[in-house]
């Protein structure tokens, strides 16, 4: 139950979960992954496969953010894990056909992605929220340089091999380690609107940006400032429910409970939340994302308080399965890092 957040006639909540555990794992392991032994690499890739299958089976994730660097070895491992979970009818190929996998890649890796994995048509590329985040988080690039030299050429390459759908992950859009807790909302809104207007024609098809994820760069976002940013984005003609996602920080030991932020987001029409079961940051110089089981518990509690949990039938079972799975992943993470 979530007291003081809901009314008795509140609508049911259905989050579209963008599960990022495998990308968080690669973010931590990438510096040493290439130099590891074959046995160690095998253990890592099995962990990747478990994270992908677990997010689908136990967390009911709508989409999974997977790192480009791990794609080459995942297919047969994912199929094996589906068999272990008693779901032989599901395969890695099915994930591709249903657009459940979103590949997190850098702009410079886009040509290689197109060449090696032409079946992956959903791509996620990080973009800066402003000049300062561009210099600090994007290898010292000026904002104009990043778009002219990296982002725009990547989109043109995708368009020539299209059709492709792009998710733009806007780094430090809500709060920033360098700008503070109040990143200018007008600038963020205008950038989001400009990104979502991208629709480039190419030789074979097109490339369009269909979603922008607004990232909380450092813990400290308040429900009031979230409301300010979202309303400003909406004033630029952006469809909040279909085009905007949130990447919120994990809030252990913080004054503002994450349920209040999730409640505010839900009330404003946002339904896409990025989360991870792995207790590790998704990017360098970033804080770790809200946990997947926290989102599941919120959804279950919201629907229970709104009187929708009973109608959903398996809502509570799903939440319990997700919490149990995420607890097991965190325990495995501790063993993995010993």
Mean pLDDT of 183-191: 97
63-74: pLDDT as tens digits: 999 999 888 777
Which residues are registered as beta bridge partners of 216?
175
**Is the model more confident about 49 or about 158?**
158
- Using left for φ > 0, alpha for ψ between -120 and 50, and beta otherwise, residue 273 falls in beta
Alpha-carbon distance of 84 to 92, in angstroms, equals 14
Domain 16-336 grouped into CATH 3.20.20.70:
yes
pLDDT higher than 90, residue 216: yes
Going from N- to C-terminal start, the domains of the chain cover: 16-336
pLDDT higher than 50, residue 35: no
Mean pLDDT of 26-50: 68
* Segment among 18-27, 31-40, 138-147, 200-209 with least mean pLDDT: 31-40
How much is the pLDDT for 334? 86
Mean pLDDT of 140-164: 94
* Segment among 188-202, 222-236, 315-329 with least mean pLDDT: 315-329
Alpha-carbon distance of 102 to 89, in angstroms, equals 21
How much is the pLDDT for 319? 83
Q: How is residue 205 written in tokens?
A: 């098809």
DSSP 167-206: EEEEEEEEEBTTTBS---HHHHHHHHHHHHT-EEE-SSSE
**Is the model more confident about 196 or about 206?**
196
How much is the pLDDT for 204? 77
Dihedral angle, C-alpha 201, 206, 212, 213, nearest 10 °:
-140
Q: What is the pTM of this model?
A: 0.90
Which residues are registered as beta bridge partners of 169?
126, 213
Percent of the chain with pLDDT over 90: 59
How much is the pLDDT for 8? 38
105-136: pLDDT as tens digits: 999 999 999 999 888 999 999 999 999 999 99
**Is the model more confident about 37 or about 213?**
213
In which element (H, E) is residue 164 found? strand 164-175
Residue 48: which pLDDT band, with cuts at 50, 70 and 90?
Answer: confident
How much is the pLDDT for 69? 84
Please say whether the beta carbons of 250 and 206 come within 8 A.
no
Percent of the chain with pLDDT over 70: 83
Q: What is the mean pLDDT of the chain?
A: 85
């Amino acid at each position: 139950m979530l007291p003081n957040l809901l009314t008795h006639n509140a609508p049911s909540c259905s989050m579209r979960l963008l599960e990022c555990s495998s990308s968080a794992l690669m973010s931590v392991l990438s510096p040493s992954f290439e130099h590891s032994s074959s046995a160690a690499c095998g253990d890592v890739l099995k962990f990747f496969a478990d994270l992908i299958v677990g997010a689908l089976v136990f967390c009911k994730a709508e989409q999974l953010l997977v790192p480009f660097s791990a794609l080459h070895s995942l297919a047969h491992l994912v199929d094996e894990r589906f068999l272990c979970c008693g779901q032989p009818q599901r395969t890695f190929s099915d994930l591709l056909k249903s657009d459940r996998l979103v590949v997190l890649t850098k702009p410079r890796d886009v040509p290689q992605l197109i060449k090696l994995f032409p079946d992956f048509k959903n791509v996620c590329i990080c973009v800066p929220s402003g000049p300062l985040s561009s210099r600090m988080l994007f290898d010292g690039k000026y904002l104009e340089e990043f778009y002219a030299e990296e982002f725009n050429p990547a989109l043109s390459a995708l368009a020539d091999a299209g059709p492709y759908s792009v998710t733009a992950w806007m780094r430090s859009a809500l709060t920033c380690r360098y700008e503070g807790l109040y990143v200018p909302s007008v600038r963020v809104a205008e950038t989001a609107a400009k990104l979502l207007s991208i629709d480039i024609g190419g030789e074979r098809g097109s490339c369009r940006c269909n979603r922008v994820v607004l990232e909380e760069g450092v813990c400290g976002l308040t429900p009031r400032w979230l409301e300010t940013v979202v309303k400003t984005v909406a004033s630029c003609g952006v469809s909040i429910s279909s085009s905007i996602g949130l990447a919120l920080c994990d809030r252990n030991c913080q004054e503002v409970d994450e349920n209040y932020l999730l409640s505010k987001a839900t009330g404003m029409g946002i339904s896409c939340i990025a989360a991870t079961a792995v207790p590790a940051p998704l990017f360098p110089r970033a804080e770790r994302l809200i946990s997947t089981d926290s989102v599941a518990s919120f959804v279950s509690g919201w629907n229970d308080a709104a009187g929708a949990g009973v109608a959903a039938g398996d809502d509570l079972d799903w939440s319990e399965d997700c919490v149990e799975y995420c607890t097991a992943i965190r325990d495995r993470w501790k063993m993995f890092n010993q």
